[in-house]
Amino acid sequence: MTWICQPLERKNEAGEPSGLWHLTAESDAGGVFVVGCDHDHASAEEAQDCEDARERIGQAIGFPYRRKGTKIELFRLESHPLARKFYSLMRELDSLPGDPRATDLVNQLGQVQRNTQALLDDPEYLAKV
């Protein structure tokens, strides 16, 4: 499943653009649509930068957005291929603020997260560590 995260403009009762924006996430599998926050934004950029919306959407799609200004530091990057892949994707994502390719990277990071969780749930792997 792929998630499309983007700001969308709300429509008024007449179905016309209202000038109010929200950050949203929608599944390409259909049936799942998440609105990021309960308050309105005056522009698409403002909605995209809303930390409340980013956090809520991150929780809903299973891969939390990071709050602005935070840094991820990983130790022992060479310890496992998944750690290297995660770090590589995070660095690429950080270099693309506002770029549409960022959605693809978020989806790839979600897959890495799921693979990591599956590995951590494997008793044979845990016995080796």
pLDDT digits (tens, 9 = 90+) for 23-67: 988 877 777 888 989 999 999 999 988 888 888 888 887 766 655
| Residue that finishes a domain, picked among 49, 65, 81 | 65
> What single letter denotes the amino acid at residue 33?
F
Alpha-carbon gap, residue 27 to 113, rounded angstroms: 17
The secondary structure element, H or E, covering residue 10 is strand 3-11
Range 4-41 burial, b when 16+ CB lie within 10 A, else e: ebebeeeeeeeeeeeeebbbbbbeeeeeeebebbeeeb
Are 25 and 59 found together in one domain? yes
Are 50 and 100 found together in one domain? no
> What single letter denotes the amino acid at residue 111?
Q
Are 61 and 76 found together in one domain? no
What is the structure's pLDDT at 21? 94
| Residue that finishes a domain, picked among 65, 88, 104 | 65
Residue 104 has pLDDT above 50, yes or no: yes
Are 57 and 100 found together in one domain? no
Are 34 and 92 found together in one domain? no
Are 10 and 47 found together in one domain? yes
| Residue that finishes a domain, picked among 34, 65, 96 | 65
Domain count for the chain, please give it.
2
Q: Which long-range contacts (CB under 8 A, 24 or more apart) does 93-98 make?
A: 98/48
pLDDT digits (tens, 9 = 90+) for 84-93: 677 677 767 7
Are 59 and 2 found together in one domain? yes
Which residues span the domain enclosing 34?
Answer: 1-65
Alpha-carbon gap, residue 35 to 57, rounded angstroms: 7
